Amino acid sequence: MLIECPFCHATAKISEDKDGAKVRCSGCSKVYVAHEKGSRAKGGKGGVNPTTLGIGIGTVVLIAIFAYVANNHEKPKPEPTPPPVVQAPPPMVDNSGWEGEYVKCVRSVYDMTLSMNEGALVKMLDGARIGKRLAESAPADAPKPAEFETLDAAAKQAFLESVAQEMMRGTDENSPHFWKPVDGRLLEPFDLLQLTVEITADKRLEAGSTELPVTRKFHWGLSRPDDKSKWKVWSWEHFVTEEEKRLARKKTKVQKVTLEDGTSLFQAEMRHLDPYPDTTPEQVAQVEKAIATMLDFTLRPKENNLARDELVAIGRPAIPLLLNKFFEIKIVDAEDDPSLIHVNMVYETLRRITGYDPGFTAMPGQTEERRTMALKAYFAWWERKGKSFTAPPPPGKDLLEDLVTPTERDKREIEKSKQAGGG
């Protein structure tokens, strides 16, 4: 039979019994399995093994099946992404209330006055504004203090320490060391450099005290030179509520006293009066300016008298402010004491406006006691007639009617005078 080399394709003849035997090619010397040329190989190189072919086909089919299943099988849904954790904002603090920086600033001042911490308290004081406030509230006849900014460092320190001492040891009933703050709030309007804080405070009572609890409101003024600086205090005053005013009016009693000559005179306790409710702020300012001018004796007498005439022309709105000034002036009882003239000027102006004259004239040697008696008589007039005052009494009307009760002797003298005069 004819065989062919699978490598170089050289042919050769061999006997048929050699079919499948290994032979060496005479052309290329390579060994191969002999098969008849043109016949299908049964194995060896160059043939395809049926088992190997089946395994390959099966493997391809399995891969196809797995790919189909993988692509058509419902995939599990991914786990939902949890929402992001939101941090809760810090609790809001009402900066205008008890825990706000403004009320805390005033509360710290109360603590300093109670603990007698003078050094810390001095640092909390606005000396320039305090000095200006004290100068404006000083009596017109008092010497004008030097402005705080013009003082040297030692004088400034001494001034601030004196203010701190008054706050820590003062005897005034509204001095901060007597009071314990229990509530507070920022009052409108708000300003970056100046504001007002209202403090509600209870009076500090000693253990075992029998005094009744007292609660008051105080208005504190805070200021700072710029919005980067710390707040300081410059004013603190008792804010009189409507309820306190009502109670004060309820406590005010008019009493009748008998003088040495037997004449009876109504008296009432002295106190600071508010302007009439219908008095405008412009009228209040006008009256205050006129009073200051009337009592400024560095001016010419003509200017003093013109200011007095202006007050008489203003009339009713000037009465409470004149009574307050009458209340403030104290007689020192010295010959060169200007308070004597001040008292007479105020008293005469009140008499011309109201038509009421309790018979008082300030003169050297006259005691403060007499001034107080006349002032109490005017406050009795205020309680009985002043609140509803509209105009002075008509000419000829007894100015002391309802305020001075004549004795039997006075009545007899009046009758004699009428008979002698033909009336």
Q: How confident is the model at residue 408 (pLDDT cuts 50, 70, 90)?
A: low
Residue 344's CB is within 10 A of a number of other CB atoms, namely: 14
pLDDT digits (tens, 9 = 90+) for 135-163: 887 776 677 778 899 999 999 999 999 99
pTM value? 0.45
| Residue 247 in this model has a pLDDT that exceeds 50 | yes
Residue type for 41, please?
A
Predicted confidence at residue 397, as pLDDT, reads 44
Q: Where are the domains of the chain?
A: 1-50, 101-205+213-239, 253-413
- Return the closest-CA partner of residue 316 out of 273, 345, 358: 273
Cα separation, 157 vs 65, whole angstroms: 99
Q: How confident is the model at residue 196 (pLDDT cuts 50, 70, 90)?
A: very high
Write out the DSSP string of 193-247. SEEEEEEEEEEP--TT--SPP-EEEEEEEEE-SSTTSPPEEEEEEEE--HHHHHH
Mean pLDDT of 253-276: 78
Predicted confidence at residue 72, as pLDDT, reads 62
Predicted confidence at residue 367, as pLDDT, reads 63
Please tell me the least confidently modeled range out of 82-91, 144-153, 330-339: 330-339
Q: How confident is the model at residue 362 (pLDDT cuts 50, 70, 90)?
A: low
The token duo for 281 is 């702020």
**Fold annotation for 101-205+213-239:** Nuclear Transport Factor 2; Chain: A, (3.10.450)
Q: How confident is the model at residue 65 (pLDDT cuts 50, 70, 90)?
A: confident
Query: Are the C-beta atoms of 270 and 379 separated by less than 8 Å?
Result: yes
| Residue 205 in this model has a pLDDT that exceeds 70 | yes
Q: What percent of the chain lies above the pLDDT cut of 90?
A: 35
Predicted confidence at residue 257, as pLDDT, reads 76
Predicted confidence at residue 399, as pLDDT, reads 39
- Return the closest-CA partner of residue 182 out of 199, 194, 195: 199
Cα separation, 178 vs 223, whole angstroms: 24
Helix (H, G, I), strand (E, B) or coil at 22: strand
* Of 321 and 50, more confident: 321
Phi, psi values for residue 76, rounded to 5°: -65, 140
Predicted confidence at residue 31, as pLDDT, reads 83
